Amino acid sequence: MRGPMPDFFRSNLRFVLDNARWLSAGFLLTLFSSFGQTFFIGLSGNELRATFHLSGGEFGALYMLATLASASTLPWLGRTLDLMPGWKVVRFTTPALALACLLITFAPNVVLLGLALYLLRLFGQGMMTEIAFTEIGRWFVASRGRAMSIIVPGQPAGSAILPLAVVMVDRWSGDWHVAWWLSAGLLIVVGLPLIVGLMRVERVPHSTEIAATNSGTARDWTRAEVIRDPVLYMLLAGLLAPPFIGTVIFFHQGYLTELRGYSDLAFAAAFPVMSVATVAFGFVCGHLIDRFGALRLLPFVLGPLMLASLTVALVTPVWGIYVFMLLLGISNGFTGTLMGALWPEVYGLKNLGGIRAIIVASMVLSTAIGPGITGVLIDMGVGLPTQMLGMAAWCVAASFSLAIAARRVGAREAWA
């Protein structure tokens, strides 16, 4: 029986099969970025604090400094995507991330621990994500939202699989170092050759794709123009909330489980809930982007994150973890897909690598500030649940900023 839903699934299946090479590369890049994401580093947080005799505030401050350094480096390093093919950037990014995985286990002092964290954040969360979103943004035009919704689940897949895997490896080996050694091996043996092989063939958007979406890409802005654009900062006021809040929770997951009396396995088991929600709502967002454009979705994107923040603040039973993870997954599905598709609509494609580097650096900066500030507040006696009430209020205020920014971008494109 034929109908709209079967046609929808057939269309998506055809799209995936026709573009499997490039979509697989993007998915793997976001998947392997997990080794530099806060949720993965946080799995060894208690062991790292114990090894180097650091308090929660001291470890948070070190993490903040390392992430700030990576954020300051990323705009420079990200410009390599405007100067050379993406697969050549992967050739030095992936080995550097593997080296960081090894360094964190062999660091003899706090200085080298900070260097390891810097490399993990720069080449994991920073460059692996930057490569994926920049290349997909260039390769796809009319189906940019759909393409983003397919590659974004790579990171949620990592957050679904890796926490449980790390807990099991740690219990089996009795040594937290082993999981990091296996991660380095996986990057070199599997990630590097597979991603480079997939990306060697560039995808060029068909002329019919470009003609079908004359309004899907803005004029090409320079990096200097972008930095001077007030709309950029209105957008960042809202779009930095998801990485900030998510990082805070994952970084302080050990503190939260102790505060509420949760088991570490219960918290780890909630990650798949977030991942499934991220994937499902990422596809929903991708469909909405291709139909309405990313700008029209901006005012509504922080609603689930506001509810997630209230859940952490107010719900104390263990089931609250799963409600929070569900809401966070919905938020990640929308914001992750939208963040990948938004910037070509606002600033064009020609300098997308350098412009996205500014955006990703800002996101990395927010993830640096989060653990540092909240760690100090925790040491001062301001509990994380109390802080989450303030973050919920941030989401509400930022939604108005996003609505105004979307209106201004639409107005200036109409005059262009």
Alpha carbons 29 and 9: distance in angstroms, whole number: 25
Q: Report which of 145, 151, 125 is spatially closest to residue 246, judged by C-alpha positions.
A: 125
Helices (H), 33-85: 38-42, 45-52, 56-78, 80-83
Q: How confident is the model at residue 110 (pLDDT cuts 50, 70, 90)?
A: very high
Amino acid identity, residue 161? I
DSSP labels, 92-119: HHHHHHHHHHHHHHH--SHHHHHHHHHH
Residues 180/186, Cβ–Cβ less than 8 Å: no
pLDDT digits (tens, 9 = 90+) for 349-386: 667 777 777 887 787 778 778 877 888 888 888 888 89
Alpha carbons 150 and 131: distance in angstroms, whole number: 15
pLDDT digits (tens, 9 = 90+) for 59-105: 878 888 888 888 888 888 888 888 888 899 999 999 999 999 999 99
Reading the block at residue 141, the tokens are 């035009």
pLDDT digits (tens, 9 = 90+) for 128-184: 988 998 888 778 776 777 788 788 778 878 877 888 888 889 889 888 899 999 999
CB atoms within 10 A of CB 380: 8
Alpha carbons 65 and 291: distance in angstroms, whole number: 41
For residue 51, give every residue at least 6 positions away whose Cβ sits within 8 Å of its Cβ, in sequence order, or none. none
DSSP letter for 215, please: T
Q: How far is CA 178 from CA 105, 111, 269, in A?
A: 9, 22, 21
Alpha carbons 296 and 288: distance in angstroms, whole number: 9
Q: Which residue has the tokens 């509504």?
A: 300
Query: Count of alpha carbons within 13 Å of 322, Cβ hemisphere only?
Result: 8
What does the radius of gyration of the chain's CA atoms come to, in whole angstroms? 20
Q: Is 38 helix (H, G, I), strand (E, B) or coil?
A: helix
Domains, in order of start, for the chain: 17-415 (1.20.1250.20)
411 pLDDT exceeds 80? no
